[in-house]
């Protein structure tokens, strides 16, 4: 798809709330990319596409993933909270023609994080968690400000909040989230 068609596509295919979140995510990703001297085109593209599959049914997400050679871990297969990151990565490849590994990994790990995240992955993780339209936690604004000064510390705070929230709700906890958190603690990020 031509890049000029991306925003019309997203506006048409996402709910107004999700579209606003996507634009907020792109705005914060742009800002963080500038601060940390990360390729701003990559950050912008990853932010725009990170949730492109979020509102599909589980079956439609699985169908999008089947078009690519992405494999789905068993615990992710029927879990839309995790599956949408895989499906969005698949759509970035098949529908939007993205073949850059760094962009694809930033989309794939935007929900869970992973061990030894790249700066681009951290930027998309934080942009998703703490963009200006987010309201799920009183600390979001602090996370956003902290990310501009010390992104590792902000990522650690969000990972720890996510781990607690996932357990409190009785959801499956992705091991990548635990590894991402331990990795940052071992590097004395706190
Ligand atoms: Fe997401
Ligand atoms: Fe998101």
Q: Which two tokens stand for residue 114?
A: 């992973």
Angstrom distance (rounded) from CA 146 to CA 35: 12
Q: For 3-186, which CATH class?
A: mainly alpha
* C-alpha 4 to ligand 1 mean position (Å): 23
Closest CA to 84 of 112, 66, 61: 61
Report domain extents, the chain.
3-186
Please tell me whether the overall predicted TM-score, pTM, comes out greater than 0.85 for this model: yes
* C-alpha 17 to ligand 1 mean position (Å): 13
Closest CA to 102 of 59, 161, 38, 153: 38
Position 189 confidence tier, pLDDT thresholds 50, 70, 90: confident
173 and 61 in contact (C-beta within 8 Å)? Answer: no
Counting ligands in written order, the one closest to the CA of 85 is 1
* C-alpha 70 to ligand 2 mean position (Å): 20
Residues whose Cβ atom is located within 5 A of ion ligand 2: 51, 128
Counting ligands in written order, the one closest to the CA of 61 is 1
Angstrom distance (rounded) from CA 190 to CA 186: 9
Position 87 confidence tier, pLDDT thresholds 50, 70, 90: very high
Q: Is the dihedral of CA 24, 97, 109, 36 positive or negative?
A: negative
- Burial grade of 164 (CB within 10 A; 0-12, 13-18, 19 or more): exposed
Average pLDDT score over residue span 150-172: 97
What count of other Cβ atoms lies within 10 Å of the Cβ of residue 88? 27
* C-alpha 21 to ligand 2 mean position (Å): 7
Three-class DSSP category at 120: helix
Q: DSSP letter at 170?
A: T
* C-alpha 80 to ligand 2 mean position (Å): 13
| Residues contacting residue 123 through CB under 8 Å, at least 6 positions apart | 29, 32, 33, 36, 38, 43, 106, 151
Q: Which two tokens stand for residue 89?
A: 């990565």
Closest CA to 100 of 39, 55, 51, 151: 39
* C-alpha 81 to ligand 1 mean position (Å): 7
As a whole number of Å, the CA-based R_g of the chain is 15
* Model pLDDT for residues 27-78, shown as the tens digit of each residue: 999 999 999 999 999 999 999 999 999 999 999 999 999 999 999 999 999 9
Counting ligands in written order, the one closest to the CA of 127 is 2
* Model pLDDT for residues 118-137, shown as the tens digit of each residue: 999 999 999 999 999 999 99
């Amino acid at each position: 798809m031509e890049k000029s068609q991306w925003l019309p596509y997203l506006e048409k295919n996402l709910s107004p709330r999700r579209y606003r979140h996507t634009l907020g995510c792109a705005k914060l990703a742009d800002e963080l990319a500038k601060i940390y001297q990360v390729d701003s085109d990559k950050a912008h593209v990853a932010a725009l596409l990170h949730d492109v599959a979020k509102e599909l049914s589980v079956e439609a997400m699985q169908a999008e993933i089947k078009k690519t050679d992405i494999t789905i871990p068993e615990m992710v297969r029927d879990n839309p909270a995790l599956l949408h990151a895989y499906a969005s990565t698949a759509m970035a490849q098949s529908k939007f023609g993205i073949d850059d590994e760094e962009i694809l990994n930033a989309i794939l790990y935007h929900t869970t994080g992973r061990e030894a995240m790249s700066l681009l992955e951290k930027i998309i993780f934080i942009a998703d968690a703490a963009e200006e339209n987010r309201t799920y936690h009183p600390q979001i604004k602090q996370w956003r400000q902290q990310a501009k000064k010390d992104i590792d510390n902000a990522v650690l705070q969000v990972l720890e909040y996510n781990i607690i929230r996932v357990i409190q709700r009785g959801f499956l906890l992705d091991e990548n989230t635990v590894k991402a958190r331990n990795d940052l603690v071992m590097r004395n990020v706190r």
